[in-house]
Amino acid sequence: MDFNQLLESVNQNITEAVFRSDKDGLIYVNNAFVKMFGYSSDQEVLSSAISKMYKDPRDRARLITKLNADHSYENEEVVFLRKDNTEFVGLVSTIMHKDENGTVFWDGAIRDVTKEREFLDRIRHREQLLESINRNINEAIYRSENKMGIIYVNDEFVKMFGYDSAQEIMDLDPSDLYKNPTQRSEVGSEVIDKGSIENKEVEFRKKDGSTFWGYLNSITVKGVDGKVYFDGAIRNITKEKEAEQALMRHAEMQRILINLSTKYIDLPLAEVEQAINDSLRELGEFVGADRSYVFDFNLEKGICSNTYEWCGKDIKPEIQNNQNLPLEIMPELVNAHLKGNPLVVDDVEKVQKEDFKKLLKDQSIRSLMTMPMIHGNECVGFVGFDWVKMLHKATEKEIILLELFSEMLVNIRIRTQNERELHKLFSKTIEQNQRLKDFSYITSHNFRSSVANLVGLLTIIEDDPSNKEYFDMLKATALKLNLAIDAINDLLNFEKDISMLEKEEINLKEVINDIMLLNRKSATEKQIELEVDIPDDLTLRILPAYLQSILHNLITNAMKYGVTEEKRKIKICAKKESKEVLLTVADQGRGIDLERYGSKMFQLGSRFHADEESGHGMGLYMTKQQVEAINGRIEVESEINKGTTFKVYFNA
């Protein structure tokens, strides 16, 4: 094969434009050249000026300079002009030759790289776009591969995870980016199984160890190299999570508030205690406190006591240590509450007063919040939360919650108190009713037995009108009936409204003397030896009629049933004992078997002595009623054949 022929064939068939030129211009171009520059034939090209083919004439000058210096150049980028003046980018390479005659030629080739250039530009644009997206979006973008780990992260990724550079992350074990490192392989399997995951909530870990919640989106991509890549984006949803949690807390708080405000409305008294304990637990758990509690003030005694307490897990109760505390030991708290203000201590270490700080620290308290319970204008105590395990900064919502709870507690206590008083009144009414009923049976019984006797006696007197014995019996019966009627009058007087009567300052010794004067006759008859041991100046502020009646009953009882032939001593003593006056009436008579009769001692209609002087069973009953009506109490001590002592305690 002819070598020139082969050369020509190559020249005519390759896509590069091939040319030869000498100092006068082009002397050879191949078909590709003609086509590349938009001419119709090689002759047309060869007759055209080379300078017209450069867009910028300085390019030509630069290339000639380069050829003169180096005799060749390679892949110089030049913008050429076609015949129709359109542009294309070409890479041109040229070598200088010299023939035996010393004539200089330049042989060269041009490759049209317009398309490649456009392609590269497109890629460059895309890269730029990607870069720009990566820089500007708030999502962390990454690419990872099973063996290589993370191979790309954007700036946001570095920022979001708190690292210094992308390289630092790529050098990591990717599991370290998860709060729970094992979660990485789980997420990986899920992406492989499904091909992608969308907005999966994952808790990630930052370089400093703190964690955050993110939405993870990821897909698998098969790379040009055949490997499987995971491309993903992470959005930090800490704010959303916080908002969601805040919303949940808000809803929870609303629920607690509604619960609090409705729970106590119709609560039976017996369940109030439990309800308060439940609320303490619920509120304590809600605010994350370790203890919640109620303290009641006793301003009169200047003390306060812990009445209810809830403790979180592993927290030591303090209720036992917080009984009857003097108010002076915590003036900060007490003064704030007496003014109606809450007390908030975010950090006990910062408390100024050393003794108050010690008091709190002794209970391991690190933060606390207390709220006064205000009834009317008076502070009756406080409710509060303690934080033991960690410091706590009080929020406005917590303060509002505590305030509401405090109001609720005050209300329930007022209601409880009212109901208790009502209940007491009710019991008293029932008791009074029963007493009246008992009384009517007793009086009716007394009347009827006397009347029955009267009828019986009158019947026998009809048969035997001259029998004096029967007349004596008639008279005794009539007198007994009269006594029964007197007893009713006493009792009815006693049942009068006690508030209508007025108290007087009465000297106890004088009253006893008066009573002894009234009973002088029987005292003399029975040769009573009376011993009175009462300070001359001992007085009582009391209803005079009641005092007289009580003393009269006890003394006449002692004279009737407490003396024997040998033992005729009655001792009356009185002395002041702190807030009471104790009066005792003691005899040395036969005594009463308290084991047998103790429970009946003060009952209506009870009688203990089988003799002529036996009464209507009203004396001690009345005495006890009278003593209790003036808020005193009565006790009895007795021993068979040793004597009986009645003790009456009056409020001084």
Partner 1 sequence: MRDLNKILLVDDDPIFLTLAELAIKKERNKVEIFKAMNGEEAISFLKNQSVDIIFLDLNMPVMNGWEFLDVLPQIKNWGHKVYVLTSSIDPSDQRKADENPLVTSMLEKPLDRDKISSTLGV
Binding site for partner 1 (CB under 8 A): 441, 444-445, 448-449, 452-453, 455-457, 460, 473, 476-477, 605, 607-610, 614, 617
Closest CB to partner 1 among residues 119, 441: 441
Is there a contact between 163 and 174 (Cβ–Cβ < 8 Å)?
Answer: no
**Cα 508 to chain center, whole Å?**
59
Closest CB to partner 1 among residues 105, 597: 597
CA–CA gap between residue 246 and residue 239 (Å, rounded):
10
Closest CB to partner 1 among residues 568, 616: 616
CB of 572 to partner 1, least distance (A): 26
For residue 206, the SS3 value is: coil
For the purposes of burial, counting CB atoms within 10 Å of the CB of 406, is it exposed (0-12), middle (13-18) or buried (19 or more)? Answer: buried
CA–CA gap between residue 223 and residue 202 (Å, rounded):
26
* CA angle centred on 536, ends 531 and 538, rounded to 5°: 105
User: What order of strands is seen across the sheet that includes strand 569-577?
Assistant: 529-533, 569-577, 580-587, 643-651, 633-639
CB of 445 to partner 1, least distance (A): 5
285, amino acid identity: E
- Residue 189 has which token pair? 């399997």
CB of 622 to partner 1, least distance (A): 17
For the purposes of burial, counting CB atoms within 10 Å of the CB of 393, is it exposed (0-12), middle (13-18) or buried (19 or more)? Answer: exposed
Closest CB to partner 1 among residues 154, 477: 477
Closest CB to partner 1 among residues 210, 434: 434
CA–CA gap between residue 152 and residue 166 (Å, rounded):
8
Please state, in angstroms and as integers, the Cα–Cα distance from residue 475 to each residue in 290, 343, 610, following that order: 83, 82, 21
What kind and span of H or E run contains 95? strand 87-98
Closest CB to partner 1 among residues 236, 450: 450
CB of 589 to partner 1, least distance (A): 15
Cβ neighbours of 112 (radius 10 Å):
19
For the purposes of burial, counting CB atoms within 10 Å of the CB of 173, is it exposed (0-12), middle (13-18) or buried (19 or more)? Answer: exposed
Closest CB to partner 1 among residues 347, 472: 472
CB of 436 to partner 1, least distance (A): 13
Is there a contact between 620 and 627 (Cβ–Cβ < 8 Å)?
Answer: no
CB of 479 to partner 1, least distance (A): 11
Can you name the residues that pair with 97 across neighbouring β-strands? 105
Task: Find the helix packing angle between 619-629 and 544-561, rounded to 10°.
Answer: 150
Closest CB to partner 1 among residues 200, 445: 445
CB of 634 to partner 1, least distance (A): 21
Closest CB to partner 1 among residues 604, 648: 604
Closest CB to partner 1 among residues 424, 609: 609
CB of 418 to partner 1, least distance (A): 35
Q: Which of 295, 399, 414 is nearest to 346 (CA)?
A: 399
Closest CB to partner 1 among residues 438, 580: 438
CB of 551 to partner 1, least distance (A): 24
307, amino acid identity: T
CA–CA gap between residue 489 and residue 384 (Å, rounded):
58
CB of 446 to partner 1, least distance (A): 8
22, amino acid identity: D
Is there a contact between 233 and 139 (Cβ–Cβ < 8 Å)?
Answer: yes
CB of 492 to partner 1, least distance (A): 19
Closest CB to partner 1 among residues 228, 452: 452
Can you name the residues that pair with 92 across neighbouring β-strands? 76, 110
437, amino acid identity: K
CB of 568 to partner 1, least distance (A): 22
